[in-house]
Amino acid sequence: MTAFQLAAPAWMIVPIILPLIAGLFCFLFNRRIFAIALTAALANLLGVCILIYQLLFFGPMRCHMGGWQTPIGITLRTDGPALLMLLTTAITGLAVTLYARGYFSYRILNPRHAARHQQQQRYFWPLWMLLLTGLNGLFLSNDIFNLYVTLELIAISAASLAALSGKPASQLAAFRYLLVSLLGSLTYLLGVVFLYRSCGVLDLDLLQNLMQNAPGIRAALALMSIGLLLKTALFPLHFWLPPAHANALAPVSVILSALVVKGSFYLLFRFWFEVFTPIITTSALNFMGTLGAIAIVWGAIQAMRQPRLKLMVAYSTVSQLGYLFIAFPLTRIDGNIHIWGIVIFMAMAHACAKSAMFMVAGTVFLHLGHDRIKDLNGIRANLPITVFAYGIAGVSLMGLPPSGGFIAKWLLLSSALTSSQWWWALVIIVGSLLAMIYVFRVMSHFFVIPEDYAFTKPTPVSPLMEWPALALALISLLLGLAASWPLYILAQGNVVLAQIFPGGLP
């Protein structure tokens, strides 16, 4: 009966197997499709909570699938960063599940396209569950080839989800998205092959011990990084992101923007700072930081120029992803743990704030039938909760206290200044100012009610579409106040950090 004890590592398969089963059931049963998905999302959150409980009381764990030991078998492992990403995915995933229910119910009410929306809903749920399986697998896997499989799983389901909307623009964007993802996965796979030929193992822990400055390993690092950067949409490789994210259905945009790009980034970060650490040079770190800095400014400028709300939010993702890469050159001084804290914070705050923003954009689009920024005047009168959620999410994106974005940017700023690399600090400040401009530009339209505004009786929007956005926005805002909790989880099993803060974190 050991498998049912709370300490058993076998709990690790719960977040992977549950959404997979739910996805299959969603395909099979047409009727209770939402109930199945909601149950899976709730159970997923519960499973992640159990894993966090395990981490806090028993430390990081390894689970050898099917009893096969390394180097043959596939290993799953839990540690602080993985669990925090899982938790973010589970919470955002639950909110998206609720929002998607409201979204599809609202659209099906429209008699003209009811059949089309019903079909979209029918395909949305299984694909979303499959995507959740892939993401959870990505965060838990400890085997570079298994990671490739999860990457492909994510690519397939994400591209299908992006194509769901049925508009010609979204079809083309989804096709390009699939090709770019494929190119990224194949480049990553080529890197895996190089690494396997050089080291002969696939397990991340074993690879860490075998790391040396050999040409094969350096080539592997370059190939894997390029593949993952393509999927993460760092500056010169971001071309596919705005059309794919902005043309998808609203719940799909939320998933793609908040979760999918974080998956490949998380992997890249883990490779750079856990596996390949000995062979990373300072110039490589600076290169990544520079690309991140350009992404921040370029993405923000593009976001300011966009005429449509969804495109603005999509370009804001390009900009915000840059902050994650600014953290790279700041590692040499502070060591890895500090940087994990910054990056995880940034990822969590951005995931919550950006999903709230895309939900708002979707609700506004449904309410008005368009999302042209200059025609959004007076929407606050009809959708007060949604507009409030937009404002709070904007606070987190700009990095005003006490939001999670503020904590992340504050940590970035202080590391940049203490390591006397002031130019990164400059970029962070400029980026925040630009973010303020593009967020306020929309906000001013939201709140200004023109003189001749006709107060039409608002079409009732389902509460399921308004409250999840507000809840996520509030989480991203309050994350800054509860900042010690994620850091406490990160410190578990992390020897260096535990030495710095012996009695728990301040």
Partner 1 sequence: MITTLLYSMTGLILFAMGLFTLIIHSHPLRKILAVNVMSTGVFLILVAAAYKPLGLGKIDPVPHAMVLTGIVVSVSVTALALLLACRVQETSNLDLLERRKQEARPKESNQ
Instruction: Say if CB 353 and CB 472 are below 8 A apart.
Output: yes
Q: Does residue 252 belong to the site contacting partner 1 (CB under 8 A)?
A: no
Q: Does residue 199 belong to the site contacting partner 1 (CB under 8 A)?
A: no
Determine the interface stretch with partner 1 among 171-179, 391-399, 449-457, 474-482 (rule: CB under 8 A). 171-179
| First and final C-alpha spacing in the chain | 39
Query: What span, in angstroms and rounded, lies between the C-alpha atoms of 487 and 344?
Result: 9
Q: Does residue 149 belong to the site contacting partner 1 (CB under 8 A)?
A: yes
Q: How far is CA 16 from CA 76, 91, 347, in A?
A: 11, 16, 21
Q: Does residue 189 belong to the site contacting partner 1 (CB under 8 A)?
A: yes
Q: How far is CA 391 from CA 60, 136, 380, 473, in A?
A: 38, 30, 11, 9
- Residue 222: CB atoms within 10 A of its CB come to 14
- The residue within the footprint of partner 1, chosen from 39, 171, 377, 414 (CB under 8 A), is 171
Q: Does residue 474 belong to the site contacting partner 1 (CB under 8 A)?
A: no
| Closer of 98 and 135 to partner 1 (Cβ) | 135
Q: Does residue 190 belong to the site contacting partner 1 (CB under 8 A)?
A: yes
Q: Does residue 481 belong to the site contacting partner 1 (CB under 8 A)?
A: no
Binding mask 296-335 for partner 1 (x = CB under 8 A): ----------------------------------------
- The residue within the footprint of partner 1, chosen from 174, 261, 342, 477 (CB under 8 A), is 174
Q: Does residue 186 belong to the site contacting partner 1 (CB under 8 A)?
A: yes
Instruction: Say if CB 303 and CB 319 are below 8 A apart.
Output: yes
Question: 59 in the Ramachandran plot: left (φ > 0), alpha (ψ -120 to 50) or beta?
Answer: left
- The residue within the footprint of partner 1, chosen from 65, 182, 474, 505 (CB under 8 A), is 182
Determine the interface stretch with partner 1 among 184-192, 248-256, 402-410, 426-434 (rule: CB under 8 A). 184-192
Q: Does residue 411 belong to the site contacting partner 1 (CB under 8 A)?
A: no
Q: Are strands 61-64 and 75-78 parallel, antiparallel or unpaired?
A: antiparallel
Least distance (Å) from partner 1 to the CB of residue 149?
A: 6
Least distance (Å) from partner 1 to the CB of residue 143?
A: 11
Give the closest residue to 363 by CA, choosing from 465, 445, 255.
Answer: 465
Q: Can you name the residues that pair with 203 across neighbouring β-strands?
A: 143
DSSP string, 327-388: TGGGHHHH-HHHHHHHHHHHHHHHHHHHHHHHHHHHHHHHHHS--BGGG-TTHHHH-HHHHH
Instruction: Say if CB 232 and CB 264 are below 8 A apart.
Output: yes
Q: Does residue 27 belong to the site contacting partner 1 (CB under 8 A)?
A: no
Q: Does residue 18 belong to the site contacting partner 1 (CB under 8 A)?
A: no
Q: Does residue 197 belong to the site contacting partner 1 (CB under 8 A)?
A: yes
Q: Which amino acid is at 153?
A: L
Q: Does residue 172 belong to the site contacting partner 1 (CB under 8 A)?
A: yes
Count of residues interacting with partner 1 (CB under 8 A):
29
Determine the interface stretch with partner 1 among 148-156, 277-285, 326-334, 405-413 (rule: CB under 8 A). 148-156
In the chain, DSSP finds a helix count (H) and a strand count (E) of: 22, 2
Determine the interface stretch with partner 1 among 96-104, 186-194, 348-356, 471-479 (rule: CB under 8 A). 186-194
Phi, psi for 75 (deg, rounded to 5): -110, 140
Determine the interface stretch with partner 1 among 41-49, 187-195, 404-412, 479-487 (rule: CB under 8 A). 187-195
| Closer of 160 and 432 to partner 1 (Cβ) | 160
Q: Does residue 226 belong to the site contacting partner 1 (CB under 8 A)?
A: no
Least distance (Å) from partner 1 to the CB of residue 308?
A: 20
Q: Does residue 58 belong to the site contacting partner 1 (CB under 8 A)?
A: no
- The residue within the footprint of partner 1, chosen from 136, 141, 160, 306 (CB under 8 A), is 160
Paired tokens of 476: 């991203």
- The residue within the footprint of partner 1, chosen from 24, 50, 58, 152 (CB under 8 A), is 152
Query: What span, in angstroms and rounded, lies between the C-alpha atoms of 249 and 96?
Result: 12
Instruction: Say if CB 299 and CB 238 are below 8 A apart.
Output: yes
Q: Does residue 14 belong to the site contacting partner 1 (CB under 8 A)?
A: no
Q: How far is CA 59 from CA 8, 78, 199, 378, in A?
A: 12, 9, 28, 52
| Torsional sign, CA 70, 494, 347, 413 | negative
Instruction: Say if CB 390 and CB 367 are below 8 A apart.
Output: no
61-120 residues in contact with partner 1 (CB under 8 A) are 71-72
What's the farthest any 2 CA atoms get from each other in the chain? 72
- The residue within the footprint of partner 1, chosen from 40, 83, 129, 155 (CB under 8 A), is 155
- Residue 417: CB atoms within 10 A of its CB come to 12
Q: Does residue 21 belong to the site contacting partner 1 (CB under 8 A)?
A: no
Q: Does residue 417 belong to the site contacting partner 1 (CB under 8 A)?
A: no
Least distance (Å) from partner 1 to the CB of residue 322?
A: 25
Least distance (Å) from partner 1 to the CB of residue 225?
A: 16
| Closer of 167 and 305 to partner 1 (Cβ) | 167
List of residues contacting partner 1 (CB under 8 A): 71-72, 145, 148-149, 152, 155-156, 159-160, 163, 167-168, 171-172, 174-175, 178-179, 182-183, 186, 189-190, 192-193, 196-197, 202
